[in-house]
Amino acid sequence: MTAPVTATPADTRSTQAMPLNVKLKVHPVILAGGSGTRLWPMSREQHPKQLIGLLGDDSLLQSTTRRLDGLEAGHPLAEQLVVVANEEQRFTTAEQLRTSGKPTRLILEPAGRDTAPALTVAALSIAAQDEDGIMVVMPADHAVTDIDGFHAAVAAGVQHAAAGHIVTMGIVPTRAETGYGYIRIGAALCMPNDARATDADAAGKIGAHKLDRFVEKPHLELAQRYIESQEYWWNSGIFIMRASTWLKAIRHFQPAIHEACEAAFAGGKADGDFFRLQRDAFSASPSNSIDYAVMEQLGNDQTAASGVVVPLQAGWSDVGSWDAIWDISEKDAHQNVGRGRVMFEGAASTFAHSEGRLIACVGTQDLVVVETADAILVADKSRVQDVKKIVGRIRNDGGLEAANHRKVHRPWGNYDSVDTGERFQVKRIVVKPGARLSLQMHHHRAEHWIVVRGTALVTRGEERFIVSENESAYIPLGVTHRLENPGKMPLEMIEVQSGSYLGEDDIVRFDDTYGRQ
């Protein structure tokens, strides 16, 4: 390994080091547009892993919102989060962000275009008010167990980002992993000359390196050679840079992405809790990841910026598969992990997760068992990467289990399809206090509503009336209707549908508080 050298910025205005007395703001940016399939049946297309409490009561998204709390990086931490999310998950994402209690600008992607366009619109949003604001870019679906270690690494990265570099957080590998991208590290770096005091000065003790190059996921033999060389680290997917630095880099390397995102942002508009990008402009953007679009280019072309790698030793996991969750979870004496109603008898190295029913594991070894209301997964721990193949087959067969849980979240609450048969369906519906469903009508079904808790305000044609506990209302086929909760406690009711077609697409909406069509 070569001797450390001092990091120096490129010779452009947007990548020059700030004078010592200039305090740039640190802006948390969360990319929450993923829809992972490897954690099925918990993760579904419409309710992906970042919205699920896989490691505790909080979802991964909610944990990520608090990850920078208490950071001391020599620059003030911006109060507002910038979150980029998929439009289809907007209401659940917004609800979870509200419970975090943090001011948030939630930018909605009208179509999935991968992480490079997502980061670009976040940078445009920040640069509109703070051109040189430093972005700490975090995926919403990762886990970090050592927050102090995370803060120390971020603080070090902030110093290099302030000096004009694009920083990526690298994980010193512990095994030959074929599921991660890798980073080849270059010469060791000293801290920039204008580095400020940070978390107990721990950042100054973290050794950064020049970025040599990004490499794709390797096969096992190549991954083993990477480990032996000690020159390759895992790519964590966490990046730190000034907004202006990223915008210059994306404009240089991917002008089509920059142009489309700039048009989408300029043509976007605020809509309640959301900022909606202009649909056609954003959809015209090429789809590309941060890695491919920019980071892989920096090793050969440093015209726009140079790359720096900072080691992250903070109990990081991308929570990308069930064995990864087993790996970071607390285990019993026989290396078993149980969540929910789980019993082990003579089992070893088994992961079991129950959403309701009892799971009894007798004599099992190296298994993953996951139970939900509508699906059960049983997998050898060494084959959990193949879960995504099952999801593909479900989707190809037209199965509902790929997209949604039996319990479906809506902006007004949720519903659970308790039972279904020929010409009938039974749902348990929960409406949040003060919320209301759309004014709607069905062509093919009638509905019977039975209130079991709370009070319902029902619109039926020209009528409006209250339905209390243990009372019911009948909604004939073809009649305009609406359900509201005027009370201060959740409204719980049973809905019995009957008719020739019971699909969710048999809804004609006349008025909707949430802007749905």
Rounded to an integer, what distance in angstroms lies between the CA atom of residue 61 and that of residue 57? 12
pLDDT for 22 equals 63
In tens, the pLDDT along 400-412 reads: 899 888 888 888 9
* pLDDT given at position 517: 62
Q: Do 307 and 351 share a domain, yes or no? A: no
> Does the structure show a pLDDT above 70 at 66?
yes
The pLDDT tens digits for 344-366 are 999 999 999 999 999 999 999 99
The CATH number of the domain holding residue 178 is 3.90.550.10
CATH number of the domain within which 450 lies: 2.60.120.10
Domain contains 153: yes
410-428 tens-digit pLDDT = 889 999 999 999 999 999 9
Write out pLDDT tens, residues 480-506: 999 999 999 999 999 999 999 998 889
Per-residue pLDDT averaged across 202-212, rounded? 76
What mean pLDDT comes out for the span 380-399?
94
Percent of the chain with pLDDT over 70: 93
Burial grade of 102 (CB within 10 A; 0-12, 13-18, 19 or more): middle
Shared domain for 49 and 105, answered yes or no, is yes
Strand partners, 365: 348
DSSP letter (8 states) at residue 389: H
Exposed (0-12), middle (13-18) or buried (19+): which is 488, by Cβ within 10 Å? exposed
> What residues make up the domain containing 412?
407-511
**295 and 327 part of one domain:** no
**Do residues 134 and 96 lie in contact, with contact meaning Cβ atoms separated by under 8 Å?**
no
Domain assignment present for 517: no
Asked if residue 17 belongs to a domain, the reply is no
Residue 218 pLDDT: 85
Domain assignment present for 16: no
pLDDT (0 to 100) of residue 21: 52
Domain edge (last residue) among 346, 373, 394: 394
Task: Please check whether residues 237 and 330 belong to one and the same domain.
Answer: no
Domain count, the chain: 3
Do 210 and 353 share a structural domain?
no
pLDDT of residue 194: 56
End position of a domain, from candidates 394, 420, 437: 394
Please give the pLDDT value at position 190.
78
The one-character DSSP state at 186 is E
Let me know if residue 74 belongs to a domain: yes
Distance between alpha carbon 195 and the CA centroid of its chain, in Å? 32
The verdict on 203 and 54 lying in the same domain is yes
Whether 19 is in a domain gets the answer: no
The model's confidence at residue 195, banded by pLDDT at 50, 70 and 90, is: low
Higher pLDDT: 126 or 178? It is: 126
> How many CB atoms are closer than 10 A to CB 121?
25
Average of per-residue pLDDT across 158-179 = 91
What pLDDT shows up at residue 217?
84
> How far is Cα 244 from Cα 361, in angstroms, rounded to an integer?
54
Statement to judge: residues 206 and 295 lie in one domain: yes
DSSP string, 38-55: TTTTT-BTTB-GGGS-SS
* The predicted structure's pLDDT at residue 389: 94
- Domain end residue (candidates: 317, 352, 371): 317
* Burial (Cβ within 10 Å: 0-12, 13-18, ≥19) of residue 215: middle
pLDDT digits (tens, 9 = 90+) for 107-148: 999 999 999 999 999 999 999 999 899 999 999 999 999 999
- Going by pLDDT thresholds of 50, 70 and 90, the confidence category of residue 159 is very high
Joined tokens for residue 47:
């309710």
Evaluate whether 29 touches 124 at the Cβ level (below 8 Å). Answer: no
Judge if 49 and 134 occupy the same domain.
yes
Highest-pLDDT range among 32-46, 67-81, 254-268, 293-307: 254-268
Helix (H, G, I), strand (E, B) or coil at 362: strand
What pLDDT was estimated at residue 369? 98
Co-location of 114 and 247 in the same domain? yes
490 within some domain: yes
The reply to whether 183 and 144 lie within a common domain is yes
**Please, which pLDDT band fits residue 12 given cuts at 50, 70 and 90?**
very low
pLDDT at 380: 97
CB contact set of 398 (below 8 Å; sequence gap of 6+): none
Judge if 215 and 289 occupy the same domain. Answer: yes
- pLDDT of residue 10 exceeding 60: no
Instruction: Supply the mean pLDDT for the chain.
Output: 90
Whether omega before 28 lies within 30 degrees of 0, making that bond cis, reads no
358 occurs within a structural domain: yes
What average pLDDT does the segment 449-465 reach?
Answer: 97
Interatomic CA distance for residues 160 and 242, integer angstroms: 10
Interaxial angle between packed helices 255-266 and 243-253, expressed in degrees from 0 to 180 and rounded to the nearest 10: 130
Statement: residue 314 has pLDDT above 70: yes
H/E run at residue 349: none
